Chain A
């Protein structure tokens, strides 16, 4: 079973700053099978990135994903007020098929 670890647990930044979120897998993950989601309080998660680096429909280009193997990164180039949220990485593979990381909270400094 692949375990995903996200760091940091909380990232305190100001609007306009760059956010770099890490997702590390316990075993190699196919880049095609790594996704990122954003969740705001009281809302369902929203798909941001799939295939490690492809933006989902309607996602602004300030969001970018990169990485391969066991290390993946979500970067928000310049934080907008609406970007303060919790971010989850997720991998797809052998059983249990879908695994989520524990999340990184991006809050306002």
Chain B
């Protein structure tokens, strides 16, 4: 069974750094792209970027380029999304999702990030 299990909710202060994770299981982790999607409170879905764990090829949405870093450790089948300096506007639910071509067929349960002073 394909599963993506994300790390738990985080509460951070503005300016702090953060790295959240997404662990894949039940499939060949290095053979599928993993994307990250933001959902701000009460809002829609926004694609942030995507990584191919097999060779760490990474693509970013222009809206998120330079704002976050996506990485992966294929030895432990885990993808990451990180911030170096959080802002209050980063408060959102973040989902990882496995891409098969043009679609996201499997999703993690989401990680809620709250940034507040």
Q: B82 near A: Cβ within 8 Å?
A: no
Q: Please indicate the chain A residues that have their CB under 8 angstroms from the CB of B80 in the complex.
A: none
Q: Which residue of A lies closest to B65 (CB)?
A: A96
B39 to chain A, nearest CB (A): 9
Stretch at the interface among B9-17, B23-31, B55-63, B69-77: B55-63
| Contact between chains at B62 and A97 (CB < 8 Å) | no
A33-B102, A92-B101, A95-B62 known; A102+B44 contact, CB < 8 A = yes
Interface size of A by CB at 8 A reads: 26
| Contact between chains at A47 and B110 (CB < 8 Å) | no
Q: Most B CB atoms within 10 A — which of A46, A95, A98, A103?
A: A98
| Contact between chains at B103 and A100 (CB < 8 Å) | no
Within 8 A of B (CB), among A42-56: 44-47, 50-51, 56
Q: For the complex, what is the distance from the CA of A91 to the CA of B104, rounded to whole Å?
A: 11
Q: Which residue of B lies closest to A102 (CB)?
A: B44
Q: Please indicate the chain B residues that have their CB under 8 angstroms from the CB of A56 in the complex.
A: 105
Q: A64 near B: Cβ within 8 Å?
A: no
Q: A73 near B: Cβ within 8 Å?
A: no
A56 to chain B, nearest CB (A): 7
Q: Most B CB atoms within 10 A — which of A37, A39, A45, A103?
A: A45
Q: Which residue of B lies closest to A96 (CB)?
A: B61
Q: For the complex, what is the distance from the CA of A92 to the CA of B102, rounded to whole Å?
A: 5
Which among A46, A50, A88 is the interface contact of B45 at CB below 8 angstroms?
A88
Q: Which residue of A lies closest to B104 (CB)?
A: A47
A104 to chain B, nearest CB (A): 10
| Contact between chains at B103 and A92 (CB < 8 Å) | yes
A-B contact pairs, 28 of them (CB 8 A): A35-B102, A44-B97, A44-B109, A44-B110, A45-B97, A46-B107, A47-B104, A50-B105, A56-B105, A88-B44, A88-B45, A92-B101, A92-B102, A92-B103, A95-B59, A95-B62, A96-B62, A96-B63, A97-B47, A97-B50, A98-B50, A98-B61, A98-B104, A99-B47, A100-B45, A100-B47, A101-B44, A103-B45
